[in-house]
Each structure stands twice: as C-alpha cells, then as structure tokens.
Amino acid sequence: MIRMAEPRPRVLFAEDEAERNRRFTDALRLEGLDVDTVSTVVGCIERLRAEPYDLLVLDVMMPLGDGEAWEGIDPIDAGVALLTRWRDGELPGLPENLPVIVLTGTTRHRELLEALGVSDYLEKPCSLPWLLEAVRAAVRTEEGRP
C-alpha cells in the first residue's frame, strides 16, 4: 500500500524587501514548508481569504496596496493596522486563529502586538536561525505537538 505523505505546513510570508523575502523563504522551503509570498497588506488579505495557511509571518512596515479602505494609515503602521482590523472582525473571510509571527524594525508597537495575540515578535535585523526557531515553534503548536 502506498502511503501519502503528510501535507507540508503552509506559510504566508508577507514582506516587501525582496532580498529578505528571497533569503527567508528559501530557508523555510528547505525546512520542508510550503511558502507563498506577498509584498503588500492588501495582497496579504487577498491570499489569506483565498488559501488556507498554518502560519503568517508579517512585516509590520510594508506597502498597503489597493483595495480595502486604508485612508490615513501610514505604511510604518500597516501591519499593526491589518492585525487590529483582523482581530476586531473588520476583515471578513480571514481565519480566526491563525498564528502570526511579526517582523519589525521598531519596538514601539510591541505591547499592542502582544495584546493582539501574535505568536512571536522578532526585531529586525532578524537572523535566519531566530526566524526558523520561531516558525518551528509556531507550526508545532498549530499541529498540536509539544
């Protein structure tokens, strides 16, 4: 009898810096993860509505993109605005309990992000080993492993 392999955990990597995006997603794929990438907040929302994921890795500061009503939101706060609206139920169609790892170059939103229930908070420049450790922990927890 042929046994099908377990599906690989799916990660959405939302990051607008091309080099970091490439380096980190290559490493995540080598870890056996199925990784999709987006570079705007609106792209992130669209992908989360269209596909099931096990984890979101989100850059706090990224372009907004076109689509949802984002008037008055500074791109430096784009990821925070996304998480706030998502957790407040203002973005229908997004998964309710998806783990989120936040990447940020500033500590100014740390308490708010923790209150929003992020799984982990990594400050840039974030080393690849730190990211991999955080992703492994989040995926293990999501799969119900200790």
**Tens of each residue's pLDDT in the chain, 146 residues:** 444 456 889 999 999 999 989 999 999 999 999 999 999 999 999 999 999 999 999 999 988 887 556 677 777 788 899 999 999 999 999 998 999 999 988 878 888 888 999 999 999 888 999 999 999 999 986 655 43
Residue-level pLDDT at 69: 65
> Is the preceding peptide bond at 75 cis, omega within 30 degrees of 0?
no
The token pair that represents 125 in the structure block: 């420049």
- Burial of residue 107, with CB atoms counted within 10 A of its CB: 0-12 exposed, 13-18 middle, 19 or more buried: exposed
Residue 11 φ/ψ, nearest 5 degrees: -125, 135
Question: What was the pLDDT predicted at 126?
Answer: 87
Structural domains in the chain, CATH included, are 10-141 (3.40.50.2300)
